[in-house]
A and B are shown apart, each in its own frame.
Chain A
Amino acid sequence: MKFPYSWLKRHINIDMDAAELSDMLTMSGTKVEGVSYPPVLKGLVVAEIIEVSKHPNADKLSLCRIDTGGREITVVCGAKNMKNGDKVVFAPAGTVLPCGTKLKKAVIRGVESGGMLCSEDELGLGKDHSGIIILQDSADTGSDASEYLGIDTVFELEVTPNRPDCLSVMGVAREVAAVKNMELLKQDFSLNESDIKASNCFSVRIEDKNRCPFYSARIIKGASVGESPNWLKNYLKSSGIRPINNIVDVTNFILLDMGHPLHAFDMSLLKGKSIFVRPAKKNEKITTIDGVERKLDETVLIIADEKGPVALAGVMGGRDSEISANTKDVLLESAYFNPADIRNTSKRFALTSESSYRFERGADIGIVVKALDRAAAMISELAGGMVLKAVLKDGAQERENPVISCRVEKANKLMGIQLSTNEICDIFRRLEIEVLSEDRDIIKIKAPTFRPDITEEADLFEEIARIYGYDSIDENLPESKIVGDGNYLETDIVEKMGESLRASGCSETMSFSFISARDLENCGFSKGNALKIKNPQNEELLYLRTSILPGMMKTLSYNLNRDAKNLKLYEFGRIYFPSRENDSGSSEILTLGVALTGFRYDSRWIEGSQNVNFFDIKGVIENVLDSLGIKNAEYDLHNSVTFKKGNAAFIKIAGVPVGSMGELDKDFCRRYGIEQTVFYCELDVSETMKYYNRLKKHIPFSMFPAVKRDIALILDEDLTYREVLKAAEKEKTGLIENIEVFDLYKGRQIPENKKSLGISVTYRSENSTLTDKEVDELHNKLVNRWVKELKCSIRDF
């Protein structure tokens, strides 16, 4: 909602500067989005064109001989829209234009130009540069032209959907009046009716009074359609509405001034002698003034003549009965429509108009006839014509606003303030809320018809608070007590995991919850197992992600393309699956994705330029699990389309799969433009969390020295380390403290399909120092078991 300051001043006698007014409106609830100050225009003169002639040396230019108030000047002009006798805006040489350019006398194609005839564009008044500004004929030649240009400060407001009453200049003035405790200025007008009764030649009828409770109209005969006066055109333009002709401009003026939408029909184009407000019939059609043909049915409320639809009620008129240059007789409509019906039509055709915007938020039924009369008076004043006697109407112009009780004590307690009954009544009076009765604690009120939003006591509390002023309300510091379980377990667990990941050098990323159909395909996920968006903006937002991986791939690719080749990244996020168990139809699983690529070490000068491998990502995950006190994770070979064959593992805790990790498949990576080897892990955090071991326990350790024995076993290549450990566990002596692998070797000296595993075993007793002999025996027994159970041999150096 936009309007110039001078328009507001027609309704209320104020003289605040624009910043002060804008602050006042913002703090009382009508937020000022922007104030545009007028361009500073000095030295512009009203000039009259004496003669337009062709430029002797240029086809596209004209020469204008102008009178600037006693002095004749010749100006070269590129526009085509002027004729002899027009009043125009002349900027003499020396004038500084809003863009900062200072005009100089110039010779254009051999003819000297004494200045410039201005367009809106050049003066910073609008975007129109199709021609120069033509002023009204009554403009005083030689006087200051800025007087006629409608130069004014313009306010732009953000009006919340509950306050349709603020969608008019009068409504804004009412707000100012309430806050400043002032009176509105009366908008006087006089309507001269002819003796001929309108009802003699026409009638209006509502067929569904639920959808249209009240409809009224007036007839103006013999009007002449033409341009509106400059003041009106300037008002409309400043408010963002294009002037069309004097009849339509008046309806738009009333819409902006009083907030009530009107519609004008060319009466001669209506068939028959009646207007009906009725639901459309199936298969009826209408072409609206925007030139679009629209198919109708019973759900759409229309205005019809005896033949068929002439307007979409409250939204837009029909093209066939539109006011044109030939219009003589006008049927002017003013009505109140049910907001839900207007919204339905507007949504149905994706068609929003200034009119529908106001009707669907709730118009003021109390001013329907007043708006009609004022518009009729203005039309007959600006376009001539005769207003026929009496208003044509059907239905009842009334709405019983509910009686609401306002409890004074409750209001004070809710806001933390101390207002008396009188003070609250005074606020109501300023807001034109009618106080029906008051005793000490209960005020009974009725809201005015322009406030459809006030329906309950809480709505009144808000009115009290905003007029009293939020700045005047004290602050209470919160009472320090814990309400609820005070448990932040999930937050804390995720934070522990994050700490561990960062200690391993990984940085956190955040990607969107959406993926494309291609992402699903790439990962080998089924579309049936993903939630699909019905109205996505584009293909990338079609599904909810079922894995962190696609987002991670995009992040990797983004960074690799920017020459960051060594990346360690992690992301926590929800992944989504259809589910019938939840009312939301989704099961949302908190998931962790980790990706490593490039060099292992930051300090390559000392540690060498080695690339990360499977055991790097495994180490990161082992650390994460360790941070949660989870010691019993197991790993098994795993195959999937995203991982390179034979290079990935399942992660299981207590036999339950919680994730997978490994080297990503090369072709998969290439689909995201990645050539580098990437290691990735995805972990179900919701599931992993269940194994969080909050209680750590001290385990006593032995005071006696340990003895170590090293050995190298030559094993089948596919015999896992886990088997080596499992076999050792069968030695139930309780004297093996630790087994550690220190070397894995394949190649020369080792037969094919075999590997050498260097193992260091630590022996320790809780009660004594083990002798060499005891250790030799223990070690021999262990090695013999390995040789027997694993069918391995001992590597001799």
Chain B
Amino acid sequence: MDKNLEAIKQASLEDIRKAEDLKKLDSARIRYLGKKGKISALMELLKNLPASEKPLFGKELNSVKNDIQSAIERKRKSLEDKEQNTSVSGFLDVTMPGIARRTGAVHPITQTINEIIAVFRRMGFSIADGPDVETEFNNFDALNTPANHPSRDIQDTFYLENGNLLRTQTSPVQIRIMKKVKPPVRIIAPGRVYRNDTPDATHGHTFHQIEGLYVDKNVSLADLKGVLHSSARQILGNDIKIRFRPHFFPFTEPSVEYDFSCVICKGKGCKVCKNSGWLEISGAGMVDPRVYKNVGYDPDEYTGYAFGMGIERIAMIKFGIDDLRLLYENDIRFLRNLK
């Protein structure tokens, strides 16, 4: 055989052998069999050969070309098999794990907030927002909690060196929105709140609340009961009952605390509800006329309700979490499990 041809054959087979993927194999094919490839160049050469040499060289050239072609084909098949990974002895192990990417998890607090937001969004509430760092006026005074009022003791407050504080409740958003907008107002405001408490299984220095506020003509306590019961059913199921207990908040009058019937024992009494059949959720009430005066609403023309919802509390009930601290440890097992 022609030495040159032999060299090309060996080089090509080596290149084909080395090709580790289809792309490299294809460039090898182009290099040898392509229009400007080395074999094609020899084909051109063949045309100009004397008639005596043509048959032999032509035959050899064709056989080399065929060899290269079939080597490429074999390699292609093997590479394709490898790509589909059925090459292992041809047996398809259908029990091997699939290769889809594992999607991430939503934090249980976000899940709870999103669900509650969606409920109130459907009921025609808009969303409002306020800063975590608040003025003493918005967090206390405007909410009818003057400096010397004992109810400031209930909430241990983080103060900042600039004279402001970390809000102890989402209620200052009420003040911000009412100062900005004339009635009717119907908003929810989710956010972080802070209490200078020592953390334990049920208390943290940081937690989340959703504030709700509806001020209009003729809004009543019966409306408040209805909206809270309806949201409870949408969040925790149709058999949830709700009860109001009289309570005290400086910025609502009447004030209530509201409980959901225990989702664990269905109201029969268990450890979680301390045998009462009820789970404490949060506070609510009719906006105190003294607050309207602070924001320039006419208390004779408008009435309204406000409520808070403790997100951690609801998340703990929803997911059966018994220690609040789990929510901020961010253990990936915890997060993936509640995905």
Q: Smallest CB–CB gap between B21 and chain A, Å?
A: 11
CA distance A457 to B229 in the complex (A): 27
Q: Are B135 and A29 in contact (CB under 8 A)?
A: no
* Contact among A416, A461, A514, A559 for B332, CB-based, below 8 A: A559
B181 cross-chain contacts in A, Cβ below 8 A: 484
* Contact among A465, A486, A491, A558 for B254, CB-based, below 8 A: A465
* Contact among A29, A343, A569 for B150, CB-based, below 8 A: A343
Q: Are A475 and B225 in contact (CB under 8 A)?
A: yes
Q: Are A501 and B104 in contact (CB under 8 A)?
A: yes
Q: Are A505 and B253 in contact (CB under 8 A)?
A: no
B109 cross-chain contacts in A, Cβ below 8 A: 510
Q: Chain B contact residues (Cβ within 8 angstroms of A): what range?
A: 35 or more
Q: Is B31 an interface residue (CB 8 A)?
A: yes
CA distance A533 to B132 in the complex (A): 13
**With A413-B220, A474-B225, A537-B196 given, is the CB distance from A27 to B97 under 8 Å?**
no
B100 cross-chain contacts in A, Cβ below 8 A: 603
Q: Chain B residue with minimal CB distance to A508?
A: B107
* Contact among A505, A532, A544 for B101, CB-based, below 8 A: A505
Q: Smallest CB–CB gap between A185 and chain B, Å?
A: 25
Q: Are A508 and B106 in contact (CB under 8 A)?
A: yes
Q: Are A458 and B127 in contact (CB under 8 A)?
A: no
CA distance A536 to B134 in the complex (A): 17
> What string of 1s and 0s marks CB contacts (under 8 Å) between A447-462 and chain B?
0000000001111011
Q: Is A731 an interface residue (CB 8 A)?
A: no
A344 cross-chain contacts in B, Cβ below 8 A: 148
CA distance A503 to B106 in the complex (A): 11
A292 cross-chain contacts in B, Cβ below 8 A: none
A582 cross-chain contacts in B, Cβ below 8 A: 131
Q: Is A638 an interface residue (CB 8 A)?
A: no
* Contact among B160, B229, B243, B329 for A558, CB-based, below 8 A: B329
B135 cross-chain contacts in A, Cβ below 8 A: 583-584
> What string of 1s and 0s marks CB contacts (under 8 Å) between B111-145 and chain A?
00010010001011111010111110010000000
Q: Is B237 an interface residue (CB 8 A)?
A: no
**With A466-B246, A582-B131, A606-B85 given, is the CB distance from A161 to B124 under 8 Å?**
no
**With A465-B246, A477-B230 given, is the CB distance from A541 to B205 under 8 Å?**
yes
A417 cross-chain contacts in B, Cβ below 8 A: 222
B198 cross-chain contacts in A, Cβ below 8 A: 537
Q: Are B332 and A564 in contact (CB under 8 A)?
A: yes
Q: Are B331 and A562 in contact (CB under 8 A)?
A: yes
CA distance A574 to B223 in the complex (A): 34
Q: Is A16 an interface residue (CB 8 A)?
A: no
Q: Is B200 an interface residue (CB 8 A)?
A: no
Q: Is B227 an interface residue (CB 8 A)?
A: yes
CA distance A603 to B247 in the complex (A): 56
> What string of 1s and 0s marks CB contacts (under 8 Å) between B144-169 and chain A?
00001111011000111111101000
CA distance A28 to B256 in the complex (A): 10
* Contact among A31, A459, A742 for B253, CB-based, below 8 A: A459
A562 cross-chain contacts in B, Cβ below 8 A: 331
CA distance A479 to B214 in the complex (A): 11
Q: Is A666 an interface residue (CB 8 A)?
A: no
Q: Is A471 an interface residue (CB 8 A)?
A: yes
Q: Smallest CB–CB gap between B210 and chain A, Å?
A: 12
CA distance A53 to B198 in the complex (A): 51
Q: Is A640 an interface residue (CB 8 A)?
A: no
A189 cross-chain contacts in B, Cβ below 8 A: none
Q: Smallest CB–CB gap between A113 and chain B, Å?
A: 40
Q: Are B153 and A161 in contact (CB under 8 A)?
A: yes
**With A360-B150, A603-B97 given, is the CB distance from A510 to B107 under 8 Å?**
yes
**With A498-B106, A506-B104 given, is the CB distance from A486 to B133 under 8 Å?**
no
Q: Is B17 an interface residue (CB 8 A)?
A: no
Q: Are A461 and B105 in contact (CB under 8 A)?
A: no
CA distance A457 to B303 in the complex (A): 13
**Which of A31, A340, A487, A507 is most buried by chain B, counting CB atoms within 10 A of its CB?**
A507
Q: Which of B289-339 contact A (CB under 8 A)?
A: 289-290, 303, 327-333, 335-336, 339
Q: Is B66 an interface residue (CB 8 A)?
A: no
CA distance A478 to B121 in the complex (A): 12
* Contact among B104, B132, B133, B222 for A475, CB-based, below 8 A: B222
Q: Is A60 an interface residue (CB 8 A)?
A: no
CA distance A536 to B205 in the complex (A): 10
Q: Are B102 and A602 in contact (CB under 8 A)?
A: yes
Q: Are B124 and A584 in contact (CB under 8 A)?
A: no
Q: Chain A contact residues (Cβ within 8 angstroms of B): what range?
A: 35 or more
CA distance A472 to B48 in the complex (A): 111
Q: Smallest CB–CB gap between A711 and chain B, Å?
A: 12
* Contact among A414, A487, A513, A541 for B286, CB-based, below 8 A: A414
Q: Are A486 and B244 in contact (CB under 8 A)?
A: no
**With A471-B243, A510-B109 given, is the CB distance from A588 to B131 under 8 Å?**
yes
Q: Are A161 and B117 in contact (CB under 8 A)?
A: no
Q: Which of B31-56 contact A (CB under 8 A)?
A: 31
**Which of B104, B124, B216, B253 is most buried by chain A, counting CB atoms within 10 A of its CB?**
B104
Q: Is B90 an interface residue (CB 8 A)?
A: no
B331 cross-chain contacts in A, Cβ below 8 A: 558-559, 562
B131 cross-chain contacts in A, Cβ below 8 A: 582, 584, 586, 588
Q: Is B79 an interface residue (CB 8 A)?
A: no
Q: Are B105 and A508 in contact (CB under 8 A)?
A: yes
Mark the stretch among B1-9, B67-75, B185-193, B260-268 that contacts chain A. Answer: B185-193
* Contact among A501, A510, A514 for B327, CB-based, below 8 A: A510
A130 cross-chain contacts in B, Cβ below 8 A: none
Q: Is B13 an interface residue (CB 8 A)?
A: no
Q: Are A509 and B149 in contact (CB under 8 A)?
A: no
Q: Are A461 and B254 in contact (CB under 8 A)?
A: yes
Q: Are A161 and B150 in contact (CB under 8 A)?
A: yes
* Contact among B99, B220, B223, B289 for A456, CB-based, below 8 A: B289
* Contact among B106, B164, B225, B253 for A458, CB-based, below 8 A: B253
Q: Are A607 and B221 in contact (CB under 8 A)?
A: no
> What string of 1s and 0s marks CB contacts (under 8 Å) between A768-795 and chain B?
0000000000000000000000000000
Q: Are A534 and B160 in contact (CB under 8 A)?
A: yes
Q: Chain A residue with minimal CB distance to B124?
A: A482
Q: Is B218 an interface residue (CB 8 A)?
A: yes
Q: Are B103 and A511 in contact (CB under 8 A)?
A: no
Q: Are A537 and B205 in contact (CB under 8 A)?
A: yes
B227 cross-chain contacts in A, Cβ below 8 A: 477-478
Q: Is A488 an interface residue (CB 8 A)?
A: yes
Q: Smallest CB–CB gap between B291 and chain A, Å?
A: 10
Q: Is A483 an interface residue (CB 8 A)?
A: yes
Q: Are B248 and A475 in contact (CB under 8 A)?
A: no
CA distance A375 to B27 in the complex (A): 108
B328 cross-chain contacts in A, Cβ below 8 A: 510-512
Q: Are A478 and B230 in contact (CB under 8 A)?
A: yes
> What string of 1s and 0s marks CB contacts (under 8 Å) between A600-611 and chain B?
011101110000
A584 cross-chain contacts in B, Cβ below 8 A: 131, 133-135, 164
**Which of A339, A501, A584 is most buried by chain B, counting CB atoms within 10 A of its CB?**
A584
B98 cross-chain contacts in A, Cβ below 8 A: 603
Q: Are B245 and A415 in contact (CB under 8 A)?
A: no
Q: Are B223 and A480 in contact (CB under 8 A)?
A: no
Q: Are B218 and A413 in contact (CB under 8 A)?
A: yes
Q: Are B127 and A532 in contact (CB under 8 A)?
A: no
Q: Chain B residue with minimal CB distance to A455?
A: B290
Q: Chain A residue with minimal CB distance to B198?
A: A537
CA distance A505 to B339 in the complex (A): 12
Given A475-B226, A476-B220, 12 more A-B residue pairs with CB atoms under 8 Å apart are A339-B148, A414-B286, A471-B243, A471-B244, A477-B227, A483-B184, A490-B127, A510-B327, A535-B158, A559-B330, A564-B333, A602-B102
**Pairs A–B under 8 Å by Cβ, sample size 23:** A160-B247, A162-B151, A413-B303, A417-B222, A457-B289, A458-B286, A470-B245, A473-B225, A474-B225, A480-B123, A483-B184, A483-B214, A485-B126, A486-B121, A490-B129, A503-B101, A507-B339, A510-B330, A511-B330, A537-B196, A558-B331, A603-B99, A603-B100
Q: Which 8 A-B residue pairs are closest in the complex by CB-CB distance?
A: A416-B222, A484-B126, A29-B246, A160-B248, A483-B186, A462-B254, A416-B220, A470-B244
